[in-house]
Amino acid sequence: MEFWTAFYAISFYVATFILVFGLGYKIYQYAVTPAPLKIPTTPAPVTTGGVVVRLLSEVILFKSLFRSNKWIWLFAIMFHLALWIVLVRHLRYFMDPVWTLVVLAQPFGKYGSFIMLFGLLGLLARRMFVKRICYISSPSDYLMLFLLLTIGISGVLISFVTRTDIIQFKAFMLSVLSFDFFSWQTMPTDTMLLIHLASVILLMIIFPFSKLLHVPGVFFSPTRNQVDNPREKRHVAPWAVKKFETSSAPTTSE
């Protein structure tokens, strides 16, 4: 068993564990946190179906961002949509046989990575050169951009400049996925691949402790996920009922 193979395989297990359970715990935490006020930003949908549409347009199209700042929206949407395509392309390392959709995504993912990097550089420039944003930026904000840029640049380099043995790598990844403890397939040890994977592992570990939590968080933001029906249905937080309304407690809405 080569050192790097064991090192990366174990790191993948640890990182996946932290990502899955950390994220699970945060989602649980978000779900049980009370939203005591009815505060949908108006004009807001008056039905649950309308809220679903609103949230989806927020999650997929970044509607609020589009309304508030066009150029930031442009960089953000470039990065996020290209990231989706790149992620779909990477599924080929995790399945055999490869789904047709993933096969078809290959060339798009390959060149999508450049759009992703361009978007990231735009967001980095925003953080560095917009004075107001620069003032409120913490090291963690830069770290996320730095990690994503490292992943993106090393990935592009593997794809276009210093290649690796992707067959051997896929065999390694599949053996990791099928839990072949200490009989994993040997992974290729090209420097760029090691950098690429190390930064992915770091990002997975940092995910549940960082601003990357905006991924599940957007679904829980009260100004976006509430139905605008304060007159039809009284909005009460359960803890408020217990404390102040001893008699004839109203039915809780959410």
Provide, rounded to whole angstroms, the least separation between the CB of residue 215 and another protein. 20
Select the span of 66-74, 90-98, 124-132, 146-154 touching another protein (CB under 8 A).
90-98
Are 119 and 76 a contacting pair, CB within 8 Å?
Answer: yes
159 lies in the site for another protein, by CB under 8 A: no
Provide, rounded to whole angstroms, the least separation between the CB of residue 178 and another protein. 4
Q: How far is the C-alpha of 67 from the C-alpha of 69, rounded, in Å? A: 6
167 lies in the site for another protein, by CB under 8 A: yes
116 lies in the site for another protein, by CB under 8 A: no
5 lies in the site for another protein, by CB under 8 A: no
- In degrees, rounded to 5, the angle at the alpha carbon of residue 177 between the alpha carbons of residues 172 and 182 is 60
Which one among 48, 106, 140, 223 touches another protein, defined by CB under 8 A? 106
Number of H helices, E strands in the chain: 12, 0
Provide, rounded to whole angstroms, the least separation between the CB of residue 197 and another protein. 17
Task: Please report, as a single letter, which amino acid is at residue 138.
Answer: S
Helix/strand/coil (H/E/C) assignment for every residue in 148-164: HHHHHHHHHHHHHCCCC
Angle between helical axes of 3-32 and 166-177 (0-180°, round to 10): 50
What burial letters (b/e) apply to 228-238, b meaning 16+ CB within 10 Å? bbeeeeebbee
Nearer to another protein, 30 or 118 (CB): 30
Which one among 23, 55, 98, 241 touches another protein, defined by CB under 8 A? 98
Provide, rounded to whole angstroms, the least separation between the CB of residue 219 and another protein. 21
11 lies in the site for another protein, by CB under 8 A: no
Contact pattern from residue 174 through residue 203 relative to another protein, giving x for each residue in contact according to CB under 8 A and a dash for the rest: xx--xxxx---x----x-------------
Q: How far is the C-alpha of 240 from the C-alpha of 86, rounded, in Å? A: 46
154 lies in the site for another protein, by CB under 8 A: no
Closest CA to 57 of 67, 42, 71: 67
Select the span of 42-50, 89-97, 211-219, 237-245 touching another protein (CB under 8 A).
89-97
Are 79 and 149 a contacting pair, CB within 8 Å?
Answer: no
**Which residues lie near another protein (CB under 8 A)?**
17, 21, 24-25, 92, 96-98, 102-103, 106-107, 163-168, 170-171, 174-175, 178-181, 185, 190
